[in-house]
């Protein structure tokens, strides 16, 4: 569905370096990224701010042309065959709407039908289905500018899917949504993928989206693909380990136990990181033999923490392969 081969995008930015002087600087936004996405996959595309995610998405959707490398999306070259690709592709940017601000949602969706030249019968059927799935009924007659963010996002999803695309590309579709709206959007996307077989590429900073939806995760950092694998592989990152929180009878210097490293000390509490293969029971036994332990708790690493540590360079991406 998507094939990207050694894709690069370089921007030239002009900078003021003195009162009258300007210099040009080259920014390598995407620096040799290669991957393929098969039909029916649901892939999360992650990365810290400025890593190159939006630039990649803009190249996949034909908005930007790569400086070098090859891209095929639905068998087409996005920058050369943008119109043909638009018929096969749906795109939703969480930050902005593609709907007409002053028109009621229903009229906006009718214009989308004309844009994509969807046959009237097929449109009605599809609109009914999307209205039911996304619960659009109560606000179809409301002008887009009066919709709440969650309602507007559901309207945008409907607009992107009215022409039944094979591939849906989402850029932060749950940004700013409350927990209930997020759950609605996530449940809808899951159904779209499993029941309709729509391939989905999802860019987000919300790791809840990723955990709930994606079987595969790609992480881009400094313009390069730093990780490409399953969510389980990411969770099992060698350096991630579990955290043992120990409450001692009194404040003590960091304890010394084989197979654990003290990460934090707060009064009588100490946080020990256990490597992936460590035996928690023997660490606890060793601790109890030498210290008066009041309480212990074992925490599994959460995905948010693992990703933060990867971004900060505390664990190498290679550990996640």
Ligand X SMILES: Nc1ncnc2c1ncn2[C@@H]1O[C@H](COP(=O)(O)OP(=O)(O)OP(=O)(O)O)[C@@H](O)[C@H]1O
Minimum distance, C-beta of residue 261 to ligand X, in the bound complex (Å): 31
DSSP bridge pairs for 71: 4
Q: What is the nearest approach in angstroms of ligand X to the Cβ of residue 147? A: 24
Q: Shortest gap between Cβ of 55 and ligand X (angstroms)?
A: 3
Which of these, 287, 254, 289, lies nearest to 271 by C-alpha position? 254
Interface with ligand X, residue 173, by CB under 6 A: no
Separation CA 321–CA 230 (nearest Å): 9
In three-state secondary structure terms, 4 is strand
Could you tell me the smallest distance in angstroms from the CB atom of residue 143 to ligand X? 29
**19/95 with CB nearer ligand X:** 95
Contact between 133 and 160 (Cβ < 8 Å): no
**Shortest Cβ 30–ligand X spacing (Å):** 7
Q: With respect to ligand X, which residue has the nearer C-beta, 95 or 117?
A: 95
Pairwise CA distance, residues 133 & 192, whole Å: 10
CA distances from 163 to 52, 119, 130, 209 (A): 29, 9, 11, 25
Residue range at the interface with ligand X (CB under 6 A); choices 42-50, 180-188, 226-234, 240-248: 42-50
**Per-residue contact track with ligand X, 44 to 63, x per CB under 6 A?**
---x-xxxxxxx--------
Angle CA 30–186–52, to nearest 5? 10
Query: Looking only at residues 52 through 111 of this chain, which bind ligand X when binding is defined by CB under 6 A?
Result: 52-55
- CB nearer to ligand X: pick between 51 and 162: 51
Nearest approach, Cβ of 12 to ligand X (angstroms)? Answer: 8
Specify the residue, 158 or 209, whose C-beta has the smaller distance to ligand X: 209
Q: How far is the CB of 214 from ligand X (least distance, A)?
A: 17
Say how far apart CA 321 and CA 308 lie, in whole Å: 17
Please, which residues bridge with residue 24 across strands? Answer: 14
What are residue 259's phi and psi, to 5 degrees?
85, 10
CB closer to ligand X out of 12 and 83:
12
Tokens at residue 40, please?
């029916």
What x/- string results for residues 10 through 29 when contact with ligand X is judged by CB under 6 A?
-x-x-------------x-x
Contacts with ligand X by CB under 6 A: the residue count is 12
Residue 164 neighbours by CB distance under 10 Å: 15
Binding residues (CB under 6 A) for ligand X: these are 11, 13, 27, 29, 47, 49-55
């Amino acid at each position: 569905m998507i094939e990207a081969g050694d894709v690069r995008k370089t921007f030239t930015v002009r900078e003021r370096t003195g009162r009258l002087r300007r210099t040009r600087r080259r920014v390598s936004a995407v620096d040799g990224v290669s991957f393929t996405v098969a039909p029916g996959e649901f892939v999360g595309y992650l990365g810290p701010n400025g890593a190159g995610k939006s630039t990649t998405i803009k190249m996949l959707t034909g908005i930007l042309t790569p400086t070098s490398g090859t891209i095929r999306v639905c068998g087409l070259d996005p920058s050369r065959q943008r119109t043909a690709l638009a018929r096969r592709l749906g795109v939703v940017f969480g930050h902005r709407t593609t709907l007409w601000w002053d028109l009621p949602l229903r009229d906006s969706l009718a214009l989308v039908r004309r844009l994509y030249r969807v046959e009237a019968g097929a449109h009605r059927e599809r609109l009914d289905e999307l209205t039911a799935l996304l619960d659009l009924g109560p606000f179809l007659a409301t002008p887009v500018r009066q919709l709440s963010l969650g309602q507007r996002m559901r309207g945008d999803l409907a607009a992107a899917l009215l022409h039944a695309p094979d591939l849906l590309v989402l850029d932060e579709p749950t940004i700013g949504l409350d927990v209930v709206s997020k759950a609605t959007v996530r449940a809808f996307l899951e159904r779209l993928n499993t029941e309709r077989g729509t391939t989905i590429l999802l860019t987000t900073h919300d790791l809840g989206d990723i955990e709930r939806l994606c079987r595969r995760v790609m992480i881009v950092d400094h313009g390069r693909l730093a990780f490409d694998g399953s969510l389980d592989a990411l969770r099992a990152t060698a350096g991630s380990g579990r955290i043992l929180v120990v409450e001692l009878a009194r404040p003590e210097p960091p304890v010394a136990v084989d197979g654990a490293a003290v990460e934090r000390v707060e009064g009588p509490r100490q946080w020990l990181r256990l490597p992936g293969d460590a035996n928690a029971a023997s660490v606890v036994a060793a601790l109890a033999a030498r210290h008066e332990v009041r309480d212990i708790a074992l925490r599994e690493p959460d995905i948010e923490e693992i990703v933060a540590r990867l971004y900060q360079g505390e664990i190498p991406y290679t550990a996640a392969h």
